[in-house]
Each structure stands twice: as structure tokens, then as C-alpha cells.
């Protein structure tokens, strides 16, 4: 089935098949990693580790199966999204939230609204599970259409260097749910890149992750600025 989709390409998309959003199952695991790698391959802001990140997050003790979703068209999984519990710390105060990372759609099926379906379905399930907010790192132009705003609006900070304030965003699953919430986002250790841990064994985990994400974000920021320069924005 996968090879058929790749051969048909755009023609397969134009068949306007019904997109079914469902919970990811263990049978999907291997393909979803490959799908994620394909989705981010050659993207100017990718660090090439998104597929490995998905595999690691599945083994996190905080992993919630209902928040790992796939988009399926006639039996072919063409997209995936994952939400992982995180916390926001402010001194002795702690607030629970979710991280949206990553969302992936096969190149052959992009720009068809599949990513949007995954995000909106994820919002509904997260709300049903009593979560109140979501944090995402990504293009502000894309995520703002779903209601995401710069996290700095609530004085919520990233635990790493940001090339631009607007790439770190938050979303209230319930209106006003972030009122009174402030602090630094703390991610599970599974977000840490093992290669960096092995390379710089004396640096604390959060600083090592800072090094990895700073490289990733610098590429993404340059890509956004280049788009603005070319388009005259």
C-alpha cells in the first residue's frame, strides 16, 4: 500500500479520500518513525532526529497513548502527531501542560489540511483528558491559525535559547486557563538528544539540550528570515 501511494503521488491525493484520525497502535510504530523522517527530510530547519524523538517519547513514563494520533487514508498512515505531558515551573509552583511535538505529514500528502485535522483532533482529546494548555515550538505563521500565541504573553519561558520570541507559543485549551500561569517549561528527559549527551558528558542535560535545539532553531530562524527577505515582507 505504501509503494502504491508513492507511485501515484499527487493523483492519489486528488482522489479526495476520507481522512480518518485514530489512535496510533504498536503496529504503526515502525512506519510512523519512517513517515516522520520523510516528512522532515530536506527541511531547512530539521535536525534530522525527529523520527528518533518520536521513538524515545513513546518510552517516556509520561507517554499517553490517546495523545499519539495518526491520519489514515484507505489503510495508509499519512500523518502523525504526538502530545507529551510537560510542566511549567515557577519556584515552588508547578503547572501541568502538554508539548506538541512533532506533527508530521508525508510530503505527498502535505498542503491538504491533514496536519490541521491532526492538531484540532488532538486539541479535543487533550481537553477531554482535562489538560488546559499546550506549548509548541514552530512557525508562528502556521500555529497562530489555531489560536497559538507567543508564550511570553503569559511570561512562560523556554529552557533554551530562542532566536526569536515568536517561535515559542502556547494555546489555552480552556479560555483563561493560563491566567496566573508563568515560569519555565520543563521537558521530559526523552527530549534530550543522546548524541549530545555522549559528546559532552560534563554538561548538565538541560544545557546539552540547549546546544542541540539552539542549532535547530538557528536554522529555522534563518529560513523564516530568508522567506521574508524573498517575499518582501
* CA separation for the pair 103, 190 (Å, rounded): 17
Rg (CA), the chain: 18
| Residue reference for cell 522532515 | 40
Q: Which of 49-58, 71-80, 108-117, 184-193 has the lowest mean pLDDT?
A: 184-193
Q: Mean per-residue pLDDT for 205-218?
A: 41
Nine-digit cell at 155? 511570561
- How many C-beta atoms surround the C-beta of residue 34 within 10 A? 13
64-113 pLDDT tens trace: 999 999 999 999 999 999 999 999 999 999 999 999 999 999 999 999 99
Q: Is the pTM above the cut of 0.85?
A: no
pLDDT tens readout for residues 108-131: 999 999 999 999 999 999 999 999
State the residue range of the domain holding 26: 2-231
pLDDT of amino acid 13: 44
Number of domains within the chain: 1
In the chain, what percentage of residues exceed pLDDT 90? 67
The phi and psi torsions of 46 (rounded to 5 degrees) equal -80, 145
Q: How far is CA 67 from CA 25, 119, 120, 134, 225, in A?
A: 11, 10, 12, 12, 32
What is the distance between the alpha carbons of residues 231 and 155, in angstroms, rounded to a whole number? 32
The CATH number of residue 173's host domain is: 3.40.630.30
Amino acid at each position: 500500500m505504501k509503494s502504491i501511494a508513492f507511485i501515484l503521488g499527487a493523483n492519489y491525493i486528488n482522489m479526495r479520500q476520507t481522512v480518518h484520525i485514530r489512535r496510533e497502535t504498536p503496529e504503526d510504530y515502525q512506519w510512523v518513525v519512517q513517515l516522520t523522517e520523510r516528512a522532515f527530510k530536506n527541511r531547512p530547519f530539521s535536525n534530522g532526529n525527529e523520527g528518533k524523538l518520536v521513538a524515545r517519547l513513546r518510552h517516556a513514563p509520561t507517554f499517553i497513548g490517546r495523545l499519539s494520533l495518526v491520519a489514515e487514508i484507505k489503510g495508509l498512515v499519512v500523518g502523525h502527531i504526538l502530545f507529551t505531558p510537560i510542566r511549567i515551573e515557577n519556584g515552588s509552583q508547578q503547572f501541568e501542560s502538554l508539548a506538541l511535538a512533532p506533527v508530521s505529514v508525508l510530503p505527498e500528502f502535505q498542503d491538504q489540511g491533514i496536519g490541521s485535522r491532526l492538531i484540532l483532533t488532538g486539541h479535543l482529546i487533550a481537553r477531554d483528558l482535562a489538560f488546559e494548555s499546550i506549548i509548541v515550538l514552530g512557525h508562528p505563521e502556521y500555529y497562530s491559525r489555531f489560536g497559538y500565541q507567543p508564550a511570553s504573553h503569559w511570561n512562560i519561558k523556554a529552557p533554551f535559547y530562542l532566536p526569536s520570541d515568536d517561535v515559542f507559543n502556547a494555546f489555552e485549551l480552556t479560555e483563561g486557563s493560563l491566567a496566573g500561569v508563568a515560569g519555565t517549561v520543563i521537558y521530559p528527559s526523552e527530549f534530550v538528544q543522546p548524541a549530545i549527551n555522549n559528546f559532552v558528558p560534563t554538561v548538565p542535560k538541560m544545557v546539552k539540550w540547549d546546544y542541540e535545539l539552539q542549532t535547530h532553531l538557528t536554522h529555522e530562524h534563518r529560513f523564516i528570515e530568508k522567506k521574508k527577505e524573498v517575499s518582501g515582507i
